[in-house]
Amino acid sequence: MISKTIMGAGLGVALLAALAGTAYADDARELTELSPDGKDACFGRVYDAAHLKAHSHQKVARIFFYHGNDPVSHPNEEPSSGPSGYTGFLATTVRGAKKPEWVGGWCGKGDPQSSEIHCGMECDRTMASLNVDEKGRLIVSGVQRNLYLDAGAEEELGEKEYAKQALGTEDDGFRLDRMPAETCKAEFARIDPVDPALGAPLRERLKPDQPFCYGRDYDAAHLGSHPDQLTQTIRVFRGPIELASFVKDGDPTNWPNGADIAVSVTTRQNAAEVTQSYSCEGEADQWRCAASTKISDFACDMAAREFYLRRGVNGTMMLANPNSSLPIVDLCSKAAEGDTKSDDKVYRLNPMPQSACTP
């Protein structure tokens, strides 16, 4: 399957930063043509109807190039591992599209005496070549039609579909005006708008030395409209035991990796609470929490039993249970194998007093 090549923050960026090498990082500090003062630089152009009418084979209606720190990725749940290896970002919006597509790469000079700047991407691909003209405009050339497609897309898609998905035959040789950095940031923000109701990521909202309690008690009306839901009450928490465990073995600078949490559940069939412990790692915009035997009512190998935590709107927490990894069934039994087949898949949990979780 051919997919658009759109890389953001996280593991992909870290890997590409390593591939870029130190030469591009050194060059980035010397690109005074783009940024005479060393600050983030922005260039862009929005083509009017007259230009697009005169260039029928140009699909790109808006184009922006940003040199500086990553303008796309949101704060996530992974501890910061240093600045992104990318130093150049290109966003284009084709005619009729509602938001841009984008690529990131590293920009530098192969020849310090040359005025041309080369911007490369993963797999030895080229984003573009850059030159600044006598009026300070950025000339973006060498843009390939398959910029957002996988290598070999033309052969695999066929001529007709490739022409539909690829850039136009006139999408090259762009002449961009210098603009305020905030203009580019606003353009890149159109790619994946931030929902302000989500607030800060969990790793900022929940501190390494802070207990917390989230949960929900489902009433008869809810359970009546969800006949396949087993869960009647659920609590997700860090209490004295989990805090002590992190003090002993955890690394606050790598938070939330290694954070122990506990989940307590009652079901329609069993009013007695059953508790299971989990160990969490930051993964993009969520915590991935695998079942452990540190603080547990079960004692089998449960490493494959996991769920995911995400921030919800207005201070809530979302718990996703795609597999049977909550103690609504005995995690050691065959009943826990495979996907959850009930309504016990996604929970919206509210903050609760600590006494509701650890009396």
pLDDT at 85: 73
Query: Mind giving me the DSSP string for 202-269?
Result: HHHHS-TT--EEEEEE--HHHHHH-TT--EEEEEEEE-HHHHHHHHHH--GGGTTTTEEEEEEEEESS
pTM: 0.66
**Pairwise pLDDT comparison (341 vs 170), residue with the higher score:** 170
pLDDT of residue 74: 80
pLDDT of res. 353: 96
d(CA 318, CA 139): 46
Q: How far is CA 191 from CA 8, 71, 128, 168, 298, in A?
A: 11, 10, 20, 21, 44
Using CA atoms, how far apart are residues 351 and 110, in angstroms rounded to an integer? 54
pLDDT value of residue 302 = 61
Q: What is the pLDDT of residue 342?
A: 78
Q: Which two tokens stand for residue 178?
A: 């210098």
> What mean pLDDT do residues 206-212 have?
96
Cα–Cα distance list, 280 to 13, 95, 290, 300, 307 (Å): 22, 43, 6, 18, 9
Taking alpha carbons only, the member of 111, 103, 85, 202 closest to residue 143 is 103
**Whether residue 355 has pLDDT greater than 90:** yes
pLDDT score of 152 = 80
Residue 92 pairs with which residues in a beta bridge?
A: 63, 101
Does the pLDDT of residue 19 top 60, yes or no? no
Tokens 């539909």 correspond to: 164
pLDDT tens, 292-351? 876 555 555 566 688 999 999 999 999 998 877 888 877 666 555 666 667 899 999 999
pLDDT greater than 60 at residue 188: yes
